[in-house]
Amino acid sequence: MIAKIGRGANIIGALSYNQLKVNQENGSVLSTHRIRETVNGEFTVNQLYSSFEPYLMANKRTEKPVLHISLNPNPKDSVSDEDFKKIAQDYMELMGYGDQPYVVFKHTDIERTHIHIVSTCVDRYGKKLSDSYEKLRSMNACRALEQKYQLLAATEKNQNPKEVIFKPVDYKEANVKSQIASVIRHLPKYYQYQSLGAYNALLSLFNITAEQITGELQGQSKQGLVYFALNEKGEKVTNPFKSSLFGKLAGTESLQKHFEHSKEKMKTAPAKEILKNSIEVTMHTTNNETDFKKQLVDQGINTFVRRNDQGRIYGITFIDHESRTVWNGSQLSKNLSANVFNDLWKNEGTQKVQNERQKTKTISSTASKNESSPETEKPHAHFDFLNGNDSTHSNTDFGLIESLANLLPITQGEDYEEQVFANQIKRRTKRNNQRGKK
């Protein structure tokens, strides 16, 4: 079983996210603890919030008092509702949150049935509960619960120096090509996306971008794909890597097939309506772009905003890690198109552009004084979430990248040029052997 602990500031957002799944019949309230009961056993967001309010009002100093925990058994485990209730209760006790108010939601919108727990890390007296060694304590709790309820163990593989974990690329390391390979070989197996722009949105979480190139070969137009590693500012910092270095799945032809397959599959995906509702609720419960992104991250959703040089938003993309689908805003609803968000955050976008221009001027001025060539710092051209404090996947948020590393496999750091060469030798040897038999 894998546990993910998210911390946030907006409990309305966390409750709304889960209650929407209940309303859409893709979830249910399994149990509650220290929550006011209702006559018919059904709950609303306001009713649930009323039980948390005294705790949150008692301590206004803690920036992120909201806990949003998900417990994910192995998909092969068959866990009854009663066992889910006991697992949630035992987990909260083991983590030191047993006396806190909390709500346990069961999610059934994807094949991997799991539970979410919404609670607070501030007690009734306004004291913040300790989160020291939280990750280690959570891992120990999961191992104990696996034994108690006879769940399949989420064993961690022993890693050797040649293995590369599915994680953001570090361009400063020597094995950049192997790092990129470990990501792009597995993304199509886990995520649905319908365009190169959506694919790039997902790749940017791992500090990678892909570009399409065109040319002519013997009078015929040809298309190809190259990959780059990105730095912390979203700038390309490596020479291009041809897609052929990473196998067929990384090339244009396979991507086009994946786009078409995703388009068909996502047409009837229940996740679309749930994601749309979650975003609309967040729009009404936040006042600016930063809070909007952070609240969605608490729900396992990354937001990517694309702006032109004047600060106007011309594109917005959402990655839902719960259903593992990537959507442009306009695909979800006309009310979630780029123009709508541009009007919503117009002043904020203009201010960002002005800040960047002022930063560039300051750097240029300093460089001139030092009689050196001017250095220009530009934000990422497409995905501004990578810039500084706007990062939507920081360790203090929902921990999406860390969560992905738990869900996705560990792969060998292969050299694809050597692999292609070895395959060619095998084919030649096979052909020679067949000729020899004749």
Q: What is the pLDDT of residues 380-404, one digit of tens each?
A: 333 333 333 333 333 333 444 444 4
Which range marks the domain in which residue 103 is found?
Answer: 2-148
Residue 213 shares a structural domain with residue 283: no
pLDDT for the residue 214: 79
What are the backbone dihedrals phi and psi of residue 301, each rounded to the nearest 5 degrees, phi first? Answer: -130, 125
- Residues 285, 263 share a domain: no
Residues 304 and 357 in one domain: yes
Decide which of 113, 148, 183 is a domain's last residue.
148
- In a domain, residue 391? The reply is yes
For 47-103, the pLDDT digits (tens) are 999 999 999 999 888 989 999 999 999 888 999 999 999 999 999 999 999 999 999
**421 contacts: CB under 8 Å, gap ≥ 6:** none
Question: Is residue 348 a contact partner of residue 288, using CB atoms and an 8 Å limit?
Answer: yes
State pTM to two decimals: 0.57
pLDDT at 423: 57
Tell me whether residue 301 is in a domain: yes
Does 155 reside within a domain? Answer: no
Position 206 in a domain: yes
Same domain, 228 and 277: no
CB 31 within 8 A of CB 107: no
Lowest mean pLDDT across 5-19, 216-230, 273-287? 216-230
Domain for residue 136, yes or no?
A: yes
77 and 130 together in one domain? yes
Asked if 96 and 229 sit in the same domain, the reply is no
353 & 413 share domain: no
Residues 280 and 387 reside in one and the same domain: yes
Q: Are β-strands 163-165 and 313-320 bridged in parallel, bridged antiparallel, or unpaired? A: unpaired
User: Does 79 lie in the same domain as 9?
Assistant: yes
The pLDDT confidence band at residue 10, using thresholds 50, 70 and 90, is confident
- Domain count across the chain: 3
Residues 144 and 10 in one domain: yes
Same domain, 140 and 102: yes
Together in a domain, 40 and 131: yes
Sign (positive or negative) of CA dihedral 237, 222, 188, 281: positive
